[in-house]
Every structure is written in structure tokens, then in C-alpha cells.
Amino acid sequence: MAKKLVEVAIPPGFVDGTPRQVKSRWIRGNHVRFRDGRLRPIGGWQEFPLSRHSANLDSAVRGHHQWRNNLGVGLMAFGTSGSGAPNYGKLFGVEITNPGVFTDSTADTTDGSADITVDDGTAFEVGDLISGAGIPSGSSITAVSTNTITISANATATATNITVTVTPTESRQRLVEITPTGYQASGDAEFRPGYGHSYYGGVGLYDYGTTYAGSGSASYSRTAHWSLDNFGENLIGCQSGDKGIFYWEGDVGTAGGSPTLAEEITTANGYTETAPSAVAILVTQERHVLALGAAGDLRQIKWSSQETIDVWTPSATNTAGDLTLQTTGYIVCGKRVQGGVLIWTETDLHQLTYLGPPLVYGVQKLADNAGTLSPYAIHSSSEITTWLNKQGFWIYDGYARPLNCPIQDRVMRTVDWSQEGLIYSGGNSEFGEVWWWLPARAGTAGQNGYYVIYNYRDGVWYDSLNISGITRNAWIDKNVWNAPLAADPSDNKFYMHESTDPAQTTTAEAETGSIDMMGGERFSRISKIFTDSDQDTAGSINYQFFTASSADDTETASSSFPLEADGEIDVRLQGRQVRYKVSGELANDWTVGNTRFETHIGGRR
């Protein structure tokens, strides 16, 4: 029987379609990416290390910002959703610190005891290494209770005022609550009222401004978000439920102490004027603060006088001003881009352009149907501005236009659009990627368990399974922290991504579409697979094969074959077409290139 070696080079990226439309392509997977044309797993994740003095998130994250102060110190701020009155959402701040080795000369040890007492235990953290006279080598701190330090081994001597050396094992950060006093960050499912009905001058069951709840009625919800930016080295922001604009000077205080809270910009707090209410804010390149959806008018944009946060009344001696968008929707957010500011409403997109005095700013509509309900569905950086709505993916490159996505139909079918306000995107700049975390129809309500990735440098797309196995309601690209951070709404913890723990056992996988053997004209027997990877360890990748006689035929699945050390896998497969699935643990950081099949030509039936 004639034997032939067939090499299959599958292009990078996922596609969606019928079995014949997606032949010889990668079609789906979980926790994988493509880089330099090769398939490989994404990086793993580990819990973000927090100090024992840190506050904990109270609920899901609904907004973030990261920046540096004038001394170069990294700062981050996070706003949460809360669970409704009186448990309003909270605002948290973090100052990125890199703790170093320190000594304490007040330590008292007792022979045979694991407890050490010091005058001030504030700086001691669980997990750090500790050494000193009478302390066994390699000892670590297992617990801290005020000024009593418990270590992993008993001391071998009784002594007072010895000097101990503490070596941090992690860069633990401290989350502090900085919510403005009296701030009511509510409205996680803020209702948008419709029109009631009644005869003119009368009192009906549904008065004007209330919602008709009869048969066929519809209601609309708006997920509340925090809008955060920095004005120089200080934070400015608002939350779309409370709508008050606040300011924070970046002081997190000392461990065990109290931070400086953010405060609303009001005359009662010593500011020149009270800032207008707003659903979102933005600081322009010209150093005006934009209040979007201002003063109770969801189409209005107000801006402060240049270089101020508290002068809002226009006059001949300042550059404050306002304008109203001509739109059928309400303003959601704004983003800085080259040449101006983009303003998204729920229905369309506008561009705000700096004109200079006396008008200061002008506006023009860029696109209909390009709006969004979630300000975090938009990713905007110096490399790319892109977003997702019910019409699909969009990009702004001087023009606002749809962005072609070969898996868009699958994305549209998978996303639970009734929870559109939860969509959260962010960059992964190391790999040239934009990630969208999305609520799935098959997922848990209130959680984003499905993700889509666009690799804009290579122009390819890939996504997770509709239930990826992890949930992330916020994503922050690496900048002030050395890895991307994500917030998990299932446990309200932060996780560092692209930070694989060698012990992590999470599996990544990807599947191909069908590959015709001998052009699909004849049945073929496959006796050997020649793999192509950069792995030297047998078993680090597993292969499974699926054969069929036609696109709609029931597939026959093989058992799983581990990677062999010599790159040759002996199999017994038969069909007109074959496809395969590769899988492996994230920690192995495997890659897959071109696969070759040793085929034996058979008959036509």
C-alpha cells in the first residue's frame, strides 16, 4: 500500500464556521495564545500578595486606574460595586512598595519556644524569613499577633534584645479604603425609567416617569461604574450611581495607620466651586477636567477651567464651558486618543476636539451604532483603541469602523447581553493583546467567565471555552506592577497573570478543524504522527485525534497520546479526514508547530 508523509501547516488564530469552512484551521481552545505563528499556553496566575495590614475588597471591582506620582511611586485605585444600600461600593487605593531586608534589635527569645516578642511587630509579615542568634537556620514567620512573632522552628536559646534580620519573600502590597465620607456608590443595576400612561391631567396607575409593567413591556438596566483618572499626581473620579466628583492626593498612610480619604469637590470641603455631578470624568491633554453626563443632563459635557478642578462657571477670565451632544443616547464615558477625546454614548460615538478660546471645544459625531453600555468594554492605548458592543468589535484609527473578527459570530452567541454592563477589557502589552472578559449565557450571573483575545500585532483572534474555568471582572495591564492584575468576583481577590506557579496544574488545549487526507477523495490509514514542538520532555503535550468520512459524519475519537521523546507517535487511524486536539499544563509552556501524518492510501469507500 502506498505510503505518503503529509505535513499540515495550520495558520495561527481561531476561526468559526461550518466543518468545511474551518478545515485546516484552529477552531477553539482554552487558555492558549498564538505568538510568532505558534500555538502555546497563556501564562498562569497567582494570588496578588497583600500585606496582613491590607484591607480586603468588599465586592466585585467596577473600575480602576493606575498612575505614578511626581516621585515615580506607583499608585492604583479600585472602585467596587457594593451590594446596595446601605452597603455601598467602596474606593480603595494602593501604593506600590518594594519592602527590603530590615533588622530589629528588640527581639526576646525563649529556649524551646517558637514565639519571639518584639517592641513593635508592625513590619513583620507571615512568610518572611527570619534569622538571628538562637533562631534555627531557614526559619520563617508563621504568625504575627501584635508584638508576638511565631516562627517555624523553636528557638534554641533564651535571650533578650537580640538582633533579628527579616528577609521578605514577597513584595506584599497594602490595600486601603479611601472612599469619600458620605459617598453613596450605588446603582449596580441602576434602572432607566420609561414612560407611564394616564389620561391628561388625571392620575393613572402608571404616572409619567414611572414604568409600565404590563404585557410586552421592557425595562433597561445600567450597571454602575467608577470613572477614574489622574490630574497630575492626584486621583480624580466619580461613580455613576452617586455622581459626585471627588479628589484624592495619593496618601495611603502608614501600616496600621489611617490613610487620607478622597473628598468630594465641594465648597463645603474648601474648594472654590462645587463640581457638577457626572456619570464619568476625564482629564484632557489640555488639562481640563471633563464632567460627562453633567448636572443631571446625560447628554451634557461640562469642563473646568484649564489647570483647575474647581472652577466650572464660564466667564471672560477662564476657559470653563459646556456643550450638549446631539444624540439619541446617554453619555457613558470618554477616552483620550490622538487628536482629541472620544465620547461614547449608549448608541453612538463622538469626537471632542480642542479649538482654543473662546469656544474651547467642539464636537462631531463619528459613527452610529458604535456606542457601549460598559466604559470598560473599551481598551484605549497608544497602540490601539478598540471596543465591543452588540454590533460586534470596533476600532478607531482616525476613523471609527467595524473590526473584522473571524470568531465574532461565536462571541455574539456566547455572551449574555443582558449583562453587557459587566464587560471589562484591558491590554496585555507584553504580547500585543487586548483581552475582553465577558459574561456568558452558560456562566454564573454577575461573573465574567468567558474571554476573547485580539492579538493586534499579529492580527489574529482566540478565545476561551464558554466556561473558561476562571472568572475576572476587572483587568489591569502591567505598568506600576510588573504583571497584569485581574480581580476575581467569586472571591474578591486580585490575581497576577502571566505569573505561572510551577505547581499550577491548569490545562490549556486547542482543537483543529478537519484536515483532508489525500484531498478527501479516498479513505486513508494513518500509522504515525510526527510532532513538531520545542519540548524535550515526553508527555508534556497530549494529542487526541478525531476521524470521519465526511463533515457531517459522526466522529471517531482516539485515546490520548502523550508526546514521545523522539517526536513520533504510533497510531491506528482511518478516515477521509482527521482533526486533532492538543493539551498540556500551563506550567510546561509548550508550543506546537507543523504536524506530519504518515498516511497509507486506501479505497474510495
pLDDT digits (tens, 9 = 90+) for 328-373: 999 999 999 998 999 999 999 999 999 999 999 999 999 999 999 9
- Using pLDDT thresholds of 50, 70 and 90, give the confidence band for residue 187: confident
Helices (H), 244-299: none
- Within-domain flag for 198: no
Contact between 518 and 3 under an 8 Å Cβ cutoff? The reply is: no
Last residue of a domain, one of 135, 167, 199: 167
* Phi, psi for 208 (deg, rounded to 5): -55, 130
First vs last Cα of the chain: how many Å apart? 16
pLDDT at 206: 43
More confident residue, 242 or 258: 242
- Residue identified by cell 460615538 is 349
Q: Do residues 579 and 24 make contact, with C-beta atoms less than 8 angstroms apart?
A: no
Range of the domain at 586: 3-43+506-601
Query: Rg of the chain over CA atoms, in angstroms?
Result: 29
| Strands 424-428 vs 433-438: parallel, antiparallel or unpaired | antiparallel
pLDDT at 219 over 70: no
On whether residue 367 sits in a domain, the answer given is no
Q: Where does a domain end: 447, 464, 499?
A: 499
Whether the CB-CB separation of 259 and 354 falls below 8 Å is answered with: no
Residue 380 lies in a domain: no
| Residue 26, pLDDT score | 97
Choose among 473, 428, 482, 474: nearest CA to 96: 482
In a domain, 136, yes or no: yes
Mean model confidence pLDDT for the chain: 91
pLDDT at 204: 45
Contact 533, 591 (CB under 8 A): yes
pTM above 0.85, yes or no: yes
Residues 431 and 447 in one domain: yes
* pLDDT recorded at residue 538: 66
Same domain, 29 and 114: no
**Kind and range of the H or E run holding 602:** none
Residues 535, 482 share a domain: no
Tell me: pLDDT of 122 over 80. Answer: yes
* Predicted confidence (pLDDT) at residue 589 exceeds the cutoff of 90: no
Per-residue pLDDT for 396 more than 70? yes
**Amino acid residing at 5:** L
In the 3-class helix/strand/coil scheme, how is 414-464 assigned residue by residue? HECHHHHHHCEEEEEHHHCEEEEEECECCCCCCCCCEEEEEECCCCEEEEC
**Boundary-marking domain end, from 499, 527, 561:** 499
Residue 237 and residue 226: Cα distance in Å, rounded?
7
The cell numbers describing 489, all together, are 468576583
- DSSP state at residue 177: E
Mean pLDDT over 64-88 rounds to 94
pLDDT digits (tens, 9 = 90+) for 432-450: 999 999 999 999 999 999 9
pLDDT tens profile 268-312: 999 999 999 999 999 999 999 999 999 999 999 999 999 999 999
Residue 324 lies in a domain: no
Q: Cα separation of 152 and 142, whole Å? A: 6
Q: What is the pLDDT of residues 152-172, one digit of tens each?
A: 999 999 999 999 999 999 999
Within a domain: 529: yes
The position carrying cell 501564562 is 43
Grid cell in block for residue 294: 453633567
Q: How far apart are CA 522 and CA 516, in angstroms?
A: 9
- Give pLDDT, residue 221: 54
Residue 183 within a domain: no
Residue type, 86: P
Nearest alpha-carbon partner for 544 in 563, 556, 527, 557:
557
Of the chain, the percentage scoring pLDDT greater than 70 comes to: 92
Number of domains in the chain: 3
Strand partners, 437: 424, 451
pLDDT digit string, tens, across residues 488-536? 999 999 999 999 888 899 999 999 999 988 665 677 888 999 999 887 6
